[in-house]
Amino acid sequence: MRAVEIRNLHYTYPDGTRALRGVNLEVEEGESVFLMGPNGSGKSTLLLHLNGLLLPQRGRVRVFGLDPRNGVGEIRRRVGLVFQDPDDQLFMPTVFEDVAFGPLHLGLEEGEVRRRVRKALGEVGMRGFEKRSPQHLSYGERKRVAIATVLSMDPQLLVLDEPTLGLDPWVRGRLLSLLRRLRRGRTLLMAGHDGELMELCDRAYLLRRGRVEREIDPSAWREEIEIGGRGRGYR
């Protein structure tokens, strides 16, 4: 089954910004896809549609065959969305409560919630931090906990918005190998402009000015940035 199918999607913000102008995108189950795009190209707006947080104004969105206009509960159960800023993602006073938030609101019973939290924190290498407050964690640690908060919901599709943004090369390296592990057995959709991040995906698309402009070769990110630097294909 297709994990994501987007046809001619348009979205305009209330202030008149036309963020999406006819996006077409397909993601097969089990593959990892990268959306390469400069700042302001509509990446984040597009990702919000995958979780039913924004509903299509024009065009159609199907997530695992489900239409978000017919209810978003099941979609949110299957899609884990990790926001760009971990301080938006981590809103509870302790790491444990934050990672437990998703499973609790799925209506799981407490023993299962505890098990899920343990597993998710183990996956991102943050076990032992349960009682800490997010404000007392480093940026890289917060990024990893932010990923754990959706892993605990056991999503089929993991969507990450600029997961490596603002990380130093050492922390970034650890996050990349974490993502490499996470893609096994899951569908992964990531957005950003980190070449090495793109390299670990099966396919990549160039998003520009609210449209998917073309498919690009994930391993050829150096050339793409080169082209962009000369003003072709990028803004």
Q: Spell out the alpha helix ranges (H) of 41-129.
A: 43-49, 73-78, 86-89, 95-105, 110-123
Figure out which of the listed residues 83, 129, 205, 234 binds other proteins, where binding follows CB under 8 A: 83
Asked if residues 62 and 25 have their Cβ atoms less than 8 Å apart, the reply is: no
Contact status: 87 vs other proteins (CB under 8 A): yes
Q: Judged by CB under 8 A, which of 81, 176, 190, 212 binds other proteins? A: 81
First to last CA, the chain: 34
Look at the alpha carbons of 140, 144, 147, 148 in this order and tell me if their dihedral is positive or negative. Answer: negative
State the minimum distance, in angstroms, from the CB of residue 152 to other proteins: 9
Query: Which of 37, 80 has the CB closer to other proteins?
Result: 80
For residue 93, state whether it binds other proteins (rule: CB under 8 A).
Answer: yes
Closest CA to 205 of 195, 213, 197: 213
Q: What is the largest CA-CA distance in the chain?
A: 56
User: Is 68 among the residues that bind other proteins (CB under 8 A)?
Assistant: no
**Shortest approach of other proteins to residue 15 CB, angstroms?**
13
User: Of these, 5, 12, 59, 92, which contacts other proteins (CB under 8 A)?
Assistant: 92
Among 20, 33, 63, 100, binds other proteins (CB under 8 A): 100
User: Is there a contact between 145 and 102 (Cβ–Cβ < 8 Å)?
Assistant: no
Query: Residue numbers of the site for other proteins (CB under 8 A)?
Result: 48, 51, 53, 73, 76-77, 81, 83, 85, 87-94, 97, 100-102, 104-107, 110, 113, 133-136, 149-150, 153
